[in-house]
Structure 1
Amino acid sequence: MCAWKYGGEYDLYNLPSYEEMQVRQIGFMNPQREKNYYGFWDKSILVGFVNILEEKEEVFIGIGVNPDLCNKHYGQRMLSITYEISKKLYPNKPLYLEVRTWNIRAVKCYQKAGFRIDGQAYELTTGIGTGTF
C-alpha cells in the first residue's frame, strides 16, 4: 500500500514509506489501531483496505483502493463487505465516512454502495491537509 502511487490531484492519498509509517506509528502501523484495518485481495493482488473505527455513536470507515484497480467496482464490493463486518462488530451503530467534495469518483462509488450525502460541506484538517468534505 505504501508503494501505491495515485496520479494527479489524487496524489495527496499517497502514503508515506513503510519505514516512515513504522517510525511514526501512523495508520495501519499504529499498534493501537492495527486491528481496525482489513485488507481485500483478488487472488494474489492486494485490491485495497478499509479502516473501521468505532466512535461513541457511529462507526467511521476509511477506504483505500489500489490505484491500478480504481473504476473497476472493487470499492463497492469492499464497502459491502465492510458493512457486514461493521454490523457484526457494532450492531447498533450507523456507518459514516468523509470524502473531499472534489473526489467525484469516490462520491459516486459511495452512493452506489448505498451511502448518501448528509448535511452541508465543511472544512476539515486531516493528517494529509485541509479540505472541503
Structure 2
Amino acid sequence: MSKLLTVHRRVHTDVSEKLAVRLVPLHLFQILWYLVVKAAEASPQGAVIHIAARHQRLVDGRFGTVLKVSDNGPGIPDDLSNKIFDPLFTTKEGHLGLGLSVVCHLVEEAGGEISVGSSPAFPTCVRLFFPEA
C-alpha cells in the first residue's frame, strides 16, 4: 500500500507545531494510516491527500485539536455515508470493512469525535476532534 501512496499520490501536511492530544501514539499512527490509505484508494493517480491539524475552539466553546484528512476522490454516496463506520461494512471486494470502524473506535476511546463531509462537488474530508490535552 505504501507504494500506492508514494508512486501515484502525494501527501501534503499542514500541522501546527506543539499539538498535544491524549492518545496512545500507536493509535494515532493507526488512525492516520487508515485514513490516508482510504483517501489514496479513493483518489485518482496524481492526487494530493491533505492532512491538517490545528488547535481550535468549536462553536460550542470546547477547545482542542482538530485533525482533517481530505482527498479529491469521487465522494461518498449519501446512502452509504451513515454506514462507513459500521464494522464489516465495505464496498470493496476483498476488504474486511474494519478500517474505518477501528478508526472510529480509537477516536472515541480517546474522548474524541469523528465526522465526514462528502459530496461530488467537494473533496471528502474526515474531521477528528480531540479535547484539549
> Which category describes the TM-score, using the shorter chain as reference length?
under 0.3
Q: Which has the higher contact order (CA 8 A, sep 6+)?
A: 2
- The alignment's TM-score, normalised by the length of structure 2, stands at 0.27
Structure showing the higher strand proportion among its residues: 2
- The alignment's TM-score, normalised by the length of structure 1, stands at 0.27
Structure showing the higher helix proportion among its residues: 1
